[in-house]
């Protein structure tokens, strides 16, 4: 079995993880000093958000040099040392591959600007003449994911306004033209460069976006300003050739082949399958689970779709509940739950809704959700700070916000800064231990209440969220053996989700009332998401979860496999 088959991958938002040199920005050396904490937490691998040279307009998703590390974060040598130290602790390291676009400061793009219309340098990007009598209108009606038109007009070398270039995201992020052979060659070299330095694989940024329809014609559909619905802009058949090519490169490192996981937003879980399998990507994130509200039926359906897709493609699912692009689970689950079905174009936006949150409720649900996630078969991705139960920082001062979503929407959208606030390590230290003493202020301000979530206080509190995560990560593999399939168990309570994997059971109560679990005498409760009160063995409190084992198997209890499952197996 490959290492990633049932791994827990911890997502490091490097800028906000740990700052070693006191400039208020997290860095590779800071991460290296904390590797022991991550190993002790029990994760198997790390995924680092982009740390390559970048003007940081979209915090690393705007790369100016794919072969160097941003000086804010360290050097290529430090990256190599980090990978070595991680490997010594048994942790794999994944980097983030941003191949859809680069920075407007990348040498290719600067060359394209100065070389002018019709030059070979422009062909590596999507430059087009504008429409209208004087080319004053964008070449088509496509919208940027970050709001506003997806085209920006350039000033030509003669000082006049001229062509437009396409950017699916911010204007500082010009899209490559993946139909140009030099683009593909460049990324082959990028992959090999980092693989040769020990990196174990890549998370692929907007993996469904690299190739656009050749015509770049107007999109006839309604324009909701997110660009997410425009399937001329995304998910073109030619993109699969890119992944076949990358897979051959990664497989060339056998007996320890490199791994790829895609960030892919397509209209259905079924169409994700086109990207997966032995010739393309190993996995794609299961965002379907992330976008579901706190609701038993909806969560179960998402798990079923993920498992179905996994069976069809013979690839284990890659589940996740949070990342650097969405609001934190504590806040999302503490808000009023929207049970209307999310449409693909606003799925991500739905995970960044404004609105009052009951954080105490949110914490209870987020802890239970973590138990659901970590009991599922396959790989789980954990976003840094989730193990501390951090809420979203919704009250950042306006002038502190930096996300281009906030900027491009004129403040109408809060954007993603609130889940990227530097981590609190120690309750009593300056900047909560994120930076050394006497350092500059963190790049995003930490609210005063962040100290309540500091890792050092949670460390020794058995009822803390950090202790719960540690317990889950350490017992997960022994309990839920990777080879054990998921079997749903029927209960009379529609708010209860119960499944078995082998002799272990995970039960989640999505309801607002305590539920009774029909359990036989031999059932042994191993982990509960709630603590602090004496709970009888058969009671599952509202908004909580439990892991338990049973020597006799689930059938011995009042629980029986649901009919569909019984038929399927
Ligand atoms: C992905 C990243 C996001 C970034 C965008 C543009 O969605 O996760 O953080 O802003 O791509 O690269
Ligand atoms: Ca630093």
Are 128 and 89 spatial neighbours (Cβ–Cβ below 8 Å)?
no
- Give nearest CA residue, ligand 1 atom 9: 325
Rounded alpha-carbon distances, angstroms, from residue 44 to 5, 11, 90 = 11, 11, 7
- Give CA 299 to chain center in angstroms: 18
Closest C-alpha to ligand 1, atom 6: 61
pLDDT of residue 564: 52
Closest ligand 1 atom to residue 170 Cα is: 6
Strands 283-286 and 127-128: unpaired
Report how far residue 26's alpha carbon sits from residue 66's, in angstroms, rounded to the nearest whole number: 20
Dihedral sign for Cα atoms in the order 176, 179, 182, 184? positive
417 lines ligand 1 (CB under 6 A): no
55-88: buried (b, 16+ CB within 10 Å) or exposed (e) per residue? Answer: ebbbbbbbbbebebbbebbbeeebbbbbbebbee
Cα 51 to ligand 2 centroid, rounded to whole Å: 12
Say what the pLDDT of residue 567 is: 36
**Nearest ligand, CA 324:** 1
- What is the DSSP annotation of 18-32? --SSSSSS--HHHHH
177 lines ligand 1 (CB under 6 A): no
Asked whether 150 lines ligand 1 (CB < 6 A), one says no
Ligand 2 centre and the CA of 415: distance in Å?
24
How far is it, in rounded angstroms, from Cα 71 to Cα 52?
A: 9
Look at residues 85, 83, 86, 87 and name the one whose alpha carbon lies nearest to residue 69. Answer: 83
What residues form DSSP beta bridges with 505?
500, 548
Nearest CA to ligand 1 atom 12: 61
What's the 157 CA to ligand 1 centre distance in angstroms? Answer: 31
Kindly identify the ligand whose nearest atom is closest to the C-alpha of 234. 1
Q: Torsions phi, psi of 43, nearest 5?
A: -85, 165
Mutation to probe ligand 1, out of 61, 99, 326 (largest number of atoms < 8 A from CB): 61
In sequence order, the β-bridge partners of residue 500 are 487, 505
Cβ 206 under 6 angstroms from ligand 1 = yes
pLDDT of residue 568: 39
Residue closest to 76 by CA, chosen among 85, 84, 66, 68? 68
Residue 281's DSSP bridge partners are 276
Nearest CA, atom 7, ligand 1: 206
Atom of ligand 1 nearest to the CA of 62: 12
Spatial separation of the C-alpha atoms in residues 167 and 145, rounded to whole Å: 9
Q: Is 232 in the pocket of ligand 1 (CB under 6 A)?
A: no
- Distance, in Å, from the CA atom of 421 to the CA atom of 443, rounded to the nearest integer, reads 8
Residue 521: burial class (beta carbons within 10 Å; 0-12, 13-18, 19+):
exposed
**Residue ranges of the chain with pLDDT lower than 50?**
225-227, 566-569
CB 157 within 8 A of CB 116: yes
Spatial contact of 172 and 227, defined as CB atoms under 8 Å apart: no
97 touches ligand 1 (CB under 6 Å): no
Report the atom number in ligand 1 closest to the C-alpha of 416: 9
Distance CA 334, CA 325 (A): 18
The ligand that comes nearest to the alpha carbon of residue 405 is: 1
Q: Distance between CA atoms of 172 and 161, rounded to whole angstroms?
A: 18
In whole angstroms, give the CA distance from residue 269 to residue 289.
11
Query: Is 287 near ligand 1, meaning CB less than 6 Å away?
Result: no
Give the residue, by CA position, lying nearest to ligand 1 atom 2. Answer: 205
Ligand 1 within 6 A of 96 CB? no
Does the Cβ of 175 fall within 6 Å of ligand 1?
no
Which pLDDT belongs to residue 569?
Answer: 36
Cα(325) to ligand 1 centroid in Å equals 7
Counting from 1 in the atom list of ligand 1, the atom nearest the Cα of 61 is 12
Which ligand 1 atom minimizes the distance to the CA of 98?
12
What spacing in Å lies between the alpha carbon of 76 and ligand 2's midpoint? 15
Q: Going along 289-344, which residue ranges are E strands?
A: 318-320
DSSP of 523-554:
-EEEEES--SS---TTEE-TTEEEEEE-SS-G
Of all ligands present, the nearest one to the C-alpha of 208 is 1
Closest C-alpha residue for ligand 1 atom 3? 325
Q: What is the pLDDT of residues 489-525, one digit of tens each?
A: 988 899 999 999 999 999 999 999 999 987 777 788 9
Which ligand is the nearest neighbour of the Cα of 58? 1
- In short, whether 205's Cβ falls inside 6 Å of ligand 1 is yes
Ligand 2 geometric centre to CA of 167 (Å): 30
Report pLDDT digits (tens) over 41-79.
999 999 999 999 999 999 999 999 999 999 999 999 999
Q: Which residue has the tokens 């005063």?
A: 448
Distance 6 CA to ligand 1 centre (A): 25
Q: Alpha-carbon distance 337 to 508, whole Å?
A: 17
Q: Which ligand is nearest to the CA of 96?
A: 1
Ligand 2 centroid – CA 53 distance (Å): 15
């Amino acid at each position: 079995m490959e290492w990633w088959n049932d791994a827990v991958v911890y997502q490091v938002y490097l800028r906000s993880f740990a700052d070693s040199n006191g400039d208020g920005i997290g860095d590779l050396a800071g991460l290296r000093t904390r590797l022991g904490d991550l190993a002790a937490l029990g994760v198997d691998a790390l995924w680092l958000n982009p740390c390559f040279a970048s003007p940081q307009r979209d915090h690393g998703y705007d790369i100016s040099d794919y072969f160097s590390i941003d000086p804010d974060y360290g050097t290529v040598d430090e990256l190599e040392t980090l990978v070595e130290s991680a490997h010594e602790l048994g942790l794999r390291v994944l980097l983030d591959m941003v191949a859809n676009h680069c920075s407007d400061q990348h040498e290719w793009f600067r060359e394209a600007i100065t070389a002018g219309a019709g030059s070979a340098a422009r062909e590596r990007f999507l430059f087009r003449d504008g429409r209208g009598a004087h080319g004053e209108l964008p070449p088509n009606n496509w919208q940027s994911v970050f709001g506003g038109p997806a085209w920006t007009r350039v000033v030509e070398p003669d000082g006049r306004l001229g062509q437009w270039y396409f950017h699916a995201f911010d204007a500082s992020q010009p899209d490559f033209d993946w139909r140009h052979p030099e683009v593909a060659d460049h990324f082959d070299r990028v992959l090999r460069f980092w693989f040769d330095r020990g990196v174990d694989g890549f998370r692929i940024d907007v993996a469904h976006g690299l190739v656009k329809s050749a015509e770049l014609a107007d999109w006839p559909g309604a324009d909701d300003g997110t660009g997410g619905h425009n399937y001329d802009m995304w998910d073109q058949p030619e993109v699969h050739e890119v992944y076949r090519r990358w897979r051959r490169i990664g497989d060339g490192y056998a007996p320890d082949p490199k791994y790829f996981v895609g960030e892919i937003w397509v209209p259905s879980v079924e169409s994700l399958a086109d990207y997966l399998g032995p010739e393309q990507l190993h996995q794609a994130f299961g965002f379907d689970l992330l976008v579901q509200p706190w609701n038993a039926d909806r969560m179960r359906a998402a798990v079923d779709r993920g498992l179905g897709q996994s069976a069809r493609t013979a690839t284990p699912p890659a589940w996740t509940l949070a990342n650097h692009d969405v609001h934190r689970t504590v806040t999302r689950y503490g808000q009023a739950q929207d049970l209307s079905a999310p449409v693909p174009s606003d799925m991500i936006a739905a995970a960044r809704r404004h609105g009052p949150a009951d954080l105490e409720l949110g914490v209870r649900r987020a802890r239970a959700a973590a138990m659901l996630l970590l009991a599922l078969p396959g790989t789980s991705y954990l976003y840094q700070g989730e193990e501390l139960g951090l809420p979203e920082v919704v009250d950042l001062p306006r002038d502190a916000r930096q996300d281009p979503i906030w900027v491009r929407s004129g403040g109408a959208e809060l954007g993603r800064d609130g889940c990227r606030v530097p981590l609190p390590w120690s309750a009593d230290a300056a900047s909560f231990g994120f930076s050394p003493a006497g350092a500059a202020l963190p790049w995003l301000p930490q609210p005063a209440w962040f100290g309540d979530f500091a890792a050092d206080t949670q460390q020794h509190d058995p009822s803390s969220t950090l202790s719960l995560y540690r317990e889950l990560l350490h017992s997960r593999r022994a309990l839920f053996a990777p080879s054990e399939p998921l079997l749903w168990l029927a209960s009379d309570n529609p708010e209860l989700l119960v499944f078995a994997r082998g002799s272990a059971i995970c039960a989640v109560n999505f309801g607002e009332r305590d539920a009774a679990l029909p359990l036989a005498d031999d059932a042994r409760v191993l982990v509960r998401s709630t603590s602090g009160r004496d709970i009888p063995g058969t009671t599952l409190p509202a908004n909580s979860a439990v892991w338990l084992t049973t020597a006799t198997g689930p059938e011995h209890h009042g629980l029986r496999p649901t009919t569909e499952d019984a038929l399927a197996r």
